[in-house]
Each structure stands twice: as structure tokens, then as C-alpha cells.
Amino acid sequence: DLNVSLEPHLLETLRPLRDVLPDDLFSELSPYLVSRKRSKKAKDVPTIPYDLLRRVSLWSRTDAGSAALQNHSPPLDPASYSMISLLAGTRTSPEKKFPAWTPSDPLAERRRKIDDRKAISNVVNGFVSVIGIGIATWWASERTGLALEWRTLLSVLAAILVAVAEVGLYMIWDTRRTA
């Protein structure tokens, strides 16, 4: 038996069928329509049998199913119940539970996380340096007797100079990191 992950959008698509499905099909579907709190763990993803979705899709294409969907208030689109629409964004597994994701090389994954943290730290450091030099230049130029517009220009130019230097340093760091 094939199972499909019961994603929130699939659950929302199936819920309005309570009023229109034949009793036998609804009795099979109803246990899956109960609200459950979704866990972050991959093994706790709720599933629904693929065959049940296939039968709902087949029913929606019959004359009786299409008429029932159109007569629902508000009318339901029969195309929303095709297999392509129902399976969009879901995962399929032959097991009841989806296996937890494990990286192919845990050491490489750990190294990638460390490198990501370093990159974020370098970018934040660059922003702080640019803002800091702008503020420091503004504060230091206060005692020079320069007019306000010249102080502003001097602060902006100093910040731009530091920004260019930080970009250059980041590019050098990134080149060495990837080499």
C-alpha cells in the first residue's frame, strides 16, 4: 500500500467533501479529516492511503460526483479533486511513516553549518563596521567646525570607503573558503 503525506492544503481540500461524498467513501475518509497538531518530526507526518485519494478523484469525475460538487454551497471545483491537484505538494511513501532525513555525510553537514554561521557573522560585522565608521566620523567632525552638509558628506564617504573595503575582504574570504 502506498501512503501520501496529509499536508494542510490537502486536508483543507478534502474537508468540504463531508457533505457531498457517498456514505461508504466518507466513512473511510472521515478518520483522516480529524484535526491533528502537526509535529516537526518527519516520522510524525500524518498520512492518507493513496488508494483512498484515487477513489475520491474517480468519484469526483462521475456525473453524480460532479453534480454533487457543483450543488455544494459554495460550489466546489471538480478539477480540485483530480489526482494531480490532490497530490500536489505531498510526499509519497510505501511505509506508514516517513523516514527521518539523514545527511549523506554528517561531518560535511556540520562543516556547512559552521561555514554558514561564519558567513553570517562576517556580513553582520561588515554592516556594523560601516555604520560605526559613519557615526564615528560624524561625531569626530563635530569638533572641526565644518558645516553640517560637509560633515554629512564626510561621514557618508567614510562609510562608503569602509563598505568597499568590507566587500573586498568578504570576497577574499569567500574565495579562500571555497578553494
| pLDDT at res. 151 | 94
* Cβ atoms of residues 137 and 154 within 8 Å: yes
**What whole-number distance in Å separates Cα of residue 63 and Cα of residue 58?**
10
Q: Where are the domains of the chain?
A: 3-93, 106-178
Given a cut of 70, whether residue 35 has pLDDT beyond it is no
**What whole-number distance in Å separates Cα of residue 107 and Cα of residue 123?**
25
Report the mean per-residue pLDDT for the chain.
Answer: 85
pLDDT band at 148 (very low <50, low <70, confident <90, very high): very high
| pLDDT at res. 82 | 85
